[in-house]
Amino acid sequence: MTHSTILGFPRIGKSRELKAAQENYWKGKISEAELLKVSSGLRALHWKQQQQAGIMAIPSNDFSLYDQMLDMSALLGVIPARYHWNGGNVDLATYFAMARGAQKDGVDVPAAEMTKWFDTNYHYIVPEFAENQTFKVSSTKPVDEFNEAKALGIVTRPVLIGPVTYLHLGKRLGGGAPIELLDKILPVYAEILRQLEKAGAAWVQLDEPVLVLDLNDATRAAYATAYAYLRKATKLKIFMTTPFGRLGDNLDVAMKLPIDALHIDLVRGAGQLDDVLAKFPSSMIVALGVVDGRNIWRNNLEESLQLLERAMKAIGRERVWVSSSCSLLHVPYDLDQETALDPELKMWLAFAQQKLEEISTLAKGLDEGRKAIADALALSSKAAESRRNARRIHDPAVQERLKKQPLEGAGRPTQFAARLKKQKARFQLPSYPTTTIGSFPQTKDVRKNRADFKKGRISAESYDAFVKEQTKAVITLQEEIGLDVLVHGEFERNDMVEFFGEQLAGFAFTQNGWVQSYGSRAVKPPIIFGDVRRPKPMTIDLTQYAQSLTKKPVKGMLTGPVTILQWSFVRDDQPRSVTTHQIALALQDEVLDLEKVGIRIIQIDEPAFREGLPLRRADWREYLTWAAQAFRLSYTGVQDDTQIHTHMCYAEFNDIIAAIRDLDADVISIETSRSQMELLQAFTHFKYPNDIGPGVYDIHSPRVPSLAEMVDLLEKAGTRVEPRQIWVNPDCGLKTRDWPETNAALRAMVKAAKVMRAKYKESA
How far apart CA 162 and CA 189 sit, in angstroms, is 9
At residue 671, the 3 state secondary structure works out as coil
Helix axes 620-635, 576-596, angle to 10 degrees: 20
Selecting among 3, 46, 488, 700, the annotated active-site residue is 700
Report the first-to-last Cα separation within the chain, whole angstroms: 76
Nearest to 26 by CA among 702, 761, 706, 522: 702
Distances (CA, A) of 317 to 51, 257, 267, 373, 721: 22, 22, 21, 17, 60
How far apart CA 90 and CA 74 sit, in angstroms, is 6
Residue 700 annotated to the active site: yes
How far apart CA 336 and CA 510 sit, in angstroms, is 11
**Cβ proximity of 244 and 211 under 8 Å:** no
Q: How many CB atoms lie within 10 A of CB 330?
A: 25
Q: Return all residues near 370 (Cβ < 8 A) that are at least 6 apart.
A: 305, 377
At residue 486, the 3 state secondary structure works out as strand
How far apart CA 342 and CA 93 sit, in angstroms, is 45
- Rg of the chain over Cα atoms, rounded to whole angstroms, equals 26
Distances (CA, A) of 319 to 261, 263, 345: 9, 12, 36
How far apart CA 203 and CA 217 sit, in angstroms, is 29
How far apart CA 578 and CA 267 sit, in angstroms, is 20
How far apart CA 556 and CA 486 sit, in angstroms, is 10
How far apart CA 695 and CA 698 sit, in angstroms, is 7
* Count, residues in the chain: 764
Q: Write the DSSP string, 35-68.
A: HHHHHHHHHHHHHHHHHHHT-SB-EES---SS-H
How far apart CA 631 and CA 691 sit, in angstroms, is 17
Nearest to 332 by CA among 293, 299, 362, 291: 293
Active site positions, annotated? 700
